[in-house]
C-alpha cells in the first residue's frame, strides 16, 4: 500500500522544525562542556571552521538527498542508487539515532526534573548541601532519573505519534524565540558578574597550545555534527517532507548560522559564570546543571528565570528528540509497513532501554568505562558523535560528490548555474571528505 507521504505545510514549517532539531541540548549543555574540556577559545575557532567548511555544506547535502528521494534514510539511498551498497549507511544512521537519543533523553530527563523543581520552588534557594551535591545525589539514585527519562520518551513518542509537524511546528514557533530571549538576558547577567572577563577570555581568546592535543580536532568536528543534527539522517528525513518548489541553500545556511549563534550565546551565559563561581570549566557534562542554578540563585527573580530556562531547555530538547525518533520511525513505516503509532512506540521503547544503561552509568554502574575514562553515557556520546556522525556525513558527501554527476548534485541542491555551486561541489567532493579522514587518522594517532 502506498500512502501519500507527509509533507511540511510551508517552507517556514520546515525551517522551524530543522532549527528545532539543530538547536537543543547540544548547543547549551554539550557545547559548554566540550568547549570547557577542550580549552575554550581555540576550540571555538576549530568548531566554527568545522561548521562553515564542513557542517553547513553537508547540511545542504543531507537535506537535498532527502528531498530528491522523498524517502527515509535507508530508502533514500536505495532509491537513488538501486542495487548498490550505499543503503548500508542508512542503517548506520538509524543505529546512531537510537544511540544518541538513548543518552540524550536521559539528560533531557534531568532538564525535566529541574523544571519541576523550579516550578515547585524547591530550587529557588540553594539546597543546604549545595547544587552540586544535590545534582549528584539525584543522578546517582536508581529510579528517579529513569522515571524522568521515561517521561521524556513518552512525550517524544506522543508527538511523533500524532504526526511530527502538528505539535512540533507550533511549539518551535513559540519556544525558540523564547529560548533566544532568555539566553540573551542570562548572558547579560552573566557578563555583569565579577570575574566575567576571565570567562570571556577563556571562550574568545584562543590558547593555541591546546591545538597540540589531537583530540581537540575530533571534538570540534563531532560537536559541529552533533549540533547541526548532521550525519544521522534526521535532516535527510526532514528534507524528504519538502517539495522541490522550496529552495534549499538559503534555508540550510540560515539553519546553520542560527544553530551556531545559539551555541555562542550559551557559551557567553556559562563561562563568565563558571569563572565567577570558581567552577572548573572542564567539569564535564554536569556543568549546566550545577552552574546555571548557582547563577539563578544570585539573580533577582532567579527562581522564575530557572522555571523559564529549564522549560525552554526541555522544549528545545523535545524538538530535537522528535527528529531523532523520526529517523527509525519513517524507516519502519515504509520498510515494515508499520503504522506510525507502532513504529514510534517500538523505537521509543528500544531507546528507553538503551538509556537505562546511560542513566545507571551515573551511579551504580559508574565503574563501567567502555572508552578510556568515559562512563557509559559519555562513551555512547563519543561513539555516536565523534565516529558515527562524521562517518555518516562523509558517506553523504561521497554519495553526492561521486555517485551523482555534478549536474545532478547541483540540481538537487538548487545550485545549478551559480558560482557558489562550484565552490560547494568542490567542498563536498574533495575538501570535506579529506578533512574528515585527516581528523580521523589524527584522532587515532596515525597522522
Ligand atoms: N542537534 C541536536 C542538539 O544540538 O541538541 C542533537 C541532535 C538532534 C543530533 C538530531 C543529531 C540528530 F540527528
pLDDT in tens, 308-354: 889 888 988 998 999 999 999 999 999 999 999 999 999 999 999 99
Amino acid 447: pLDDT: 67
Q: Is 256 in the pocket of ligand 1 (CB under 6 A)?
A: no
Q: Could you tell me what percent of the chain has a pLDDT over 90? A: 66
Mean pLDDT of 414-434: 96
Q: Could you tell me what percent of the chain has a pLDDT over 70? A: 97
Is 70 exceeded by the pLDDT of residue 3?
Answer: no
DSSP 284: G
Mean pLDDT of 75-79: 98
Is 70 exceeded by the pLDDT of residue 165?
Answer: no
Q: Of 433, 372, 373, which is closest to residue 231 (Cα–Cα)?
A: 433
Index of the ligand 1 atom closest to the CA of residue 25: 5
Q: What is the dihedral of CA 309, 149, 38, 96, to 10 degrees?
A: -120
Positive or negative: CA dihedral 163, 21, 169, 315: positive
Index of the ligand 1 atom closest to the CA of residue 316: 5
Which strand (E) or helix (H) includes residue 268?
A: helix 249-276
> Going along 117-248, which residue ranges are E strands?
none
**Chain position carrying cell 561548521:** 51
Query: How far apart are alpha carbons 343 and 349 in whole angstroms?
Result: 10
CA of 122 to the centre of ligand 1 (A): 30
Q: Which residues contact 276 (CB under 8 A, 6 or more apart)?
A: 190, 193, 194, 195, 196, 199
Reading the block at residue 315, the C-alpha cell is 522544549
Q: Which of 11-20, 51-60, 73-82, 386-395 has the lowest mean pLDDT?
A: 11-20
Mean pLDDT of 27-34: 90
CA of 300 to the centre of ligand 1 (A): 33
Is 70 exceeded by the pLDDT of residue 168?
Answer: no
Cβ-contact 385, 24 below 8 angstroms: no
Q: Average pLDDT, whole number, for the chain?
A: 91
Amino acid 8: pLDDT: 86
**Chain position carrying cell 551555541:** 263
Is 70 exceeded by the pLDDT of residue 1?
Answer: no
Query: How far apart are alpha carbons 444 and 158 in whole angstroms?
Result: 41
Query: How far apart are alpha carbons 146 and 202 in whole angstroms?
Result: 35
Amino acid 164: pLDDT: 58
Chain center to CA of 323: 10
Amino acid 444: pLDDT: 78
Positive or negative: CA dihedral 155, 160, 162, 167: positive
Amino acid 148: pLDDT: 98
Mean pLDDT of 357-369: 94
Amino acid 90: pLDDT: 97
Amino acid 2: pLDDT: 45
Amino acid 106: pLDDT: 97
Q: How confident is the model at residue 296 (pLDDT cuts 50, 70, 90)?
A: confident
Cβ-contact 14, 8 below 8 angstroms: yes
Q: Of 145, 91, 159, 171, which is closest to residue 352 (Cα–Cα)?
A: 145
CA of 203 to the centre of ligand 1 (A): 22
Amino acid at each position: 500500500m502506498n500512502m501519500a507521504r507527509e509533507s511540511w505545510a510551508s517552507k517556514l514549517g520546515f525551517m522551524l522544525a530543522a532549527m528545532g532539531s539543530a538547536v537543543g541540548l547540544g548547543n547549551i549543555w554539550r557545547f559548554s562542556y566540550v568547549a570547557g574540556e577542550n580549552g575554550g577559545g581555540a576550540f571555538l575557532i576549530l568548531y566554527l571552521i568545522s561548521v562553515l567548511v564542513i557542517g553547513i555544506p553537508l547540511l545542504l547535502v543531507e537535506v537535498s538527498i532527502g528531498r530528491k528521494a522523498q524517502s527515509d534514510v535507508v530508502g533514500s539511498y536505495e532509491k537513488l542508487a538501486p542495487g548498490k551498497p550505499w543503503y548500508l549507511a542508512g542503517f548506520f544512521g538509524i543505529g546512531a539515532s537510537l544511540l544518541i537519543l538513548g543518552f540524550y533523553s536521559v539528560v533531557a530527563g534531568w532538564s525535566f526534573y529541574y523544571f519541576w523543581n523550579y516550578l515547585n520552588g524547591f530550587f529557588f534557594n540553594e539546597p543546604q548541601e549545595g547544587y552540586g551535591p544535590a545534582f549528584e545525589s539525584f543522578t546517582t539514585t536508581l529510579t528517579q532519573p529513569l522515571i524522568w527519562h521515561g517521561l521524556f520518551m513518552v512525550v517524544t513518542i506522543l508527538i511523533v505519534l500524532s504526526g511530527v509537524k502538528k505539535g512540533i511546528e507550533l511549539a518551535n514557533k513559540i519556544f525558540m524565540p523564547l529560548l533566544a530571549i532568555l539566553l540573551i538576558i542570562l548572558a547579560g547577567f552573566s557578563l555583569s558578574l565579577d570575574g566575567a572577563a576571565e570567562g570571556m577570555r577563556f571562550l574568545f581568546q584562543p590558547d593555541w597550545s591546546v591545538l597540540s592535543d589531537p583530540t581537540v580536532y575530533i571534538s570540534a568536528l563531532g560537536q559541529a555534527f552533533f549540533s547541526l543534527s548532521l550525519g544521522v539522517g534526521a535532516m535527510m528525513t526532514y528534507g524528504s517532507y519538502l517539495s522541490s518548489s522550496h529552495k534549499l541553500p538559503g534555508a540550510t545556511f540560515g539553519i546553520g548560522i542560527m544553530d551556531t549563534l545559539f551555541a555562542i550565546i550559551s557559551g557567553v551565559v556559562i563561562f563568565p559564570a563558571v569563572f565567577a563561581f570558581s567552577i572548573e570549566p572542564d567539569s564535564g557534562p554536569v556543568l549546566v546543571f550545577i552552574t546555571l542554578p548557582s547563577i539563578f540563585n544570585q539573580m533577582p527573580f532567579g527562581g522564575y528565570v530557572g522555571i523559564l530556562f529549564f522549560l525552554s531547555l526541555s522544549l528545545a530538547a523535545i524538538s530535537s528528540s522528535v527528529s531523532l525518533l523520526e529517523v527509525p520511525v519513517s524507516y519502519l513505516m515504509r520498510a515494515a509497513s508499520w503504522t506510525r503509532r507502532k513504529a514510534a512506540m517500538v523505537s521509543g521503547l528500544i531507546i528507553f532501554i538503551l538509556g537505562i544503561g546511560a542513566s545507571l552509568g551515573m551511579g551504580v554502574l559508574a565503574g563501567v568505562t567502555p572508552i578510556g575514562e568515559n562512563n557509559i553515557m559519555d562513551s555512547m556520546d563519543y561513539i555516536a558523535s565523534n565516529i558515527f556522525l562524521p562517518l555518516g556525513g562523509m558517506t553523504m558527501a561521497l554519495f553526492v560528490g561521486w555517485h551523482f554527476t555534478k549536474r545532478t548534485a547541483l540540481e538537487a541542491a538548487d545550485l545549478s548555474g551559480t558560482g557558489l555551486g562550484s565552490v560547494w561541489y568542490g567542498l563536498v567532493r574533495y575538501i570535506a571528505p579529506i578533512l574528515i579522514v585527516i581528523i580521523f587518522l589524527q584522532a587515532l594517532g596515525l597522522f
